Amino acid sequence: MKRPYVYLAGVGRWAPPRILRNDEFASMGLDTNDAWIVQRTGIRERHIAGPAENNRTMSAAASRMAMERAGVHPGEIDLIVLGTASPDHLLPSTAVELQAELGASRAAAFDICAACSSWLYGLIVAEGLMMSGSAETALVVGTEKLSSIVDWKDRSTAVLFGDGAGAAILRRSKHGKGILSTYFRSDGTLAPLLHRRAGGAAQPFDEHALHDRSFYIEMEGREVFKHAVRSMSDACDRALDGARMTGADIDLLIPHQANVRIIEATAKHAGIPMEKVFVNVDRYGNTSSASVPMALEEAMAAGRVTDGSTVLLVAFGAGFTWASLVIRF
Ligand SMILES: CC(C)(COP(=O)(O)OP(=O)(O)OC[C@H]1O[C@@H](n2cnc3c(N)ncnc32)[C@H](O)[C@@H]1OP(=O)(O)O)[C@@H](O)C(=O)NCCC(=O)NCCS
């Protein structure tokens, strides 16, 4: 087992105030209803960013909360790793926009694009850079304005996603607390199951993309569901093995919040009862990179992660990518 080298010194969250309830989709012209969405996904509502809100503003709010809780000033941060699948601009990274917004003038900053696994990938990358001596105080952020890349005319995807941001400050571990094990993997052969065909260099945005709506998220929901359960189950096993633990040693499982049925199947596989699983997908929908840090912050605020808690984080996303960590708080 790896000795903990890095711990989470403070966690923050921010979600836009506008809440979109399931029963509002009908008035937006979508042939769907609350009962279908709740039964298939567990989602009841999601937060949607307004025109003045973007990843820079949302991630800055979440980061400031994490920094305040960790007692860290912007000038102390020497690394910003930001996960997003909906960057504010294609160039430069959203991480540098956050770096400027915070005034973190000593920080190296870059984005990670591993879709819904991005924040977990970010923790693993930041831990590695801290272990190698390249950084001492890292800010790891997950932020999404998915409402800007969702096709609001496609009922099979529009009902699933939401906006928000979460962040954590990472510092050198003390008293045996921190990251006990990590695991991350990918399988790019499955990319077409969940992607945006147009808008990048391979298929630049043009009139055709505008017409066929190929610059929005497209997904084979049923296939994604199967792979999500398989990969998140594998990731739980691997992180538990790495920490020489079983599901019985875990105080709280915080899975990526995409669909309550995926969460239930993952928890069952890991041998963790639902009382020990944190779920907030009902109130936020799938916020991709932001999902796990937002859930972690809510779990901490609710007193479900306390001093000494052993927590299993697991995520899965487009790519496909999947990742997991065991952390002692
Ligand atoms: C998207 C998802 C909820 C769809 O549930 P499902 O049980 O697989 O449903 P299907 O896609 O098979 O569709 C069943 C029917 O519901 C319809 N449907 C799809 N979205 C609907 C909606 N919002 N409201 C009402 N009906 C809908 C379909 O058109 C289909 O109708 P048909 O049988 O007449 O063709 C589910 O597949 C899922 O959650 N997948 C994983 C998605 C995910 O988490 N992605 C992110 C991973 S990080």
- Residue 114 three-state SS: coil
| 122 confidence band (pLDDT: 50, 70, 90) | very high
C-beta 114 within 6 A of ligand 1: no
Domain coordinates of the chain in residue numbers? 6-175, 179-328
- What does the pLDDT average to over 100-106? 98
Q: Does domain 6-175 have CATH number 3.60.15.10?
A: no
Whether 275 shows a pLDDT value over 90: the answer reads yes
- For residue 147, which amino acid is it? S
Ligand 1 pocket: which of 193, 195, 225 to mutate (most atoms <8 Å of CB)?
Answer: 225
Q: Which of 302, 4, 2 is nearest to 174 (CA)?
A: 4
**Whether 116 is catalytic:** yes
CA 9 to chain centre: 18
Domain 6-175 and domain 179-328, same fold? Reply is yes
Q: Report which protein residue has its CA nearest ligand 1's atom 47.
A: 317
User: Do 163 and 145 form a contact (C-beta atoms < 8 A)?
Assistant: yes
- The backbone region for 3, taken as left when phi is positive above 0, alpha when psi lies in -120 to 50, beta otherwise, is beta
User: Do 137 and 109 form a contact (C-beta atoms < 8 A)?
Assistant: no
**Whether 54 is catalytic:** no
User: Do 165 and 142 form a contact (C-beta atoms < 8 A)?
Assistant: yes
C-beta 221 within 6 A of ligand 1: yes
For 246-264, what is each residue's pLDDT tens digit?
Answer: 999 999 999 999 999 999 9
CATH number for 179-328: choose from 3.40.190.10, 3.40.47.10, 3.30.70.260, 3.30.465.10: 3.40.47.10
**Whether 89 is catalytic:** no
Active-site residue, from 47, 116, 236, 259: 116
Q: Which of 124, 180, 192, 168 is nearest to 292 (CA)?
A: 168
For 189-223, the DSSP string reads: GGGGGEE--SSSSSS---HHHHHHTTTS-EE-HHH
For 64-90, what is each residue's pLDDT tens digit?
Answer: 999 999 999 999 999 999 999 999 999
Q: How confident is the model at residue 68, as a pLDDT?
A: 98
Q: How confident is the model at residue 3, as a pLDDT?
A: 72
Per-residue tokens: 160: 């699933």
